[in-house]
Amino acid sequence: RVHGNHTFNAKFYIPYKGIAIGLGANVFAHLFNFQYSFRIGFLILPALVEYAWVWTGSAPYVRSLDFLNWLVEYRRAKAEIETDGGALYRRNPLVFQKYTKQIGSKSAVSYTH
């Protein structure tokens, strides 16, 4: 599955799981009366680890390649229809209406012949 709408996402990532784990560890440290430096470390360290884990992940690169491959194939298919459209239209006059309905396009498909 291609995540085209999340591929080039530039929003700042907030590590909610790391913050939740850090808060749980902070409650544990409070119950057993740990020093405040340990409590701060328990709060910050899981969030930093999660942020680093997500930041160094390879999933966005794979999704980007999937999206760009889909984009190239889509453009190639559209170009083939534009160049071979005359032959397709002579065989089946409704082929372009089916194509525009299938891809959800509101613009007409034209061919160069």
Q: Are 82 and 109 in contact (CB under 8 A)?
A: yes
- Cα separation, 33 vs 27, in Å, equals 10
- The per-residue pLDDT for range 50-92, each reduced to its tens digit, is 988 888 878 777 878 888 888 888 888 888 777 877 777 777 7
Q: Are 70 and 103 in contact (CB under 8 A)?
A: no
> Is the C-alpha dihedral spanning 27, 30, 32, 37 positive or negative?
positive
- Cα separation, 26 vs 39, in Å, equals 5
Residue 25 tokens read as 């560890």
pTM, two decimals, is 0.52
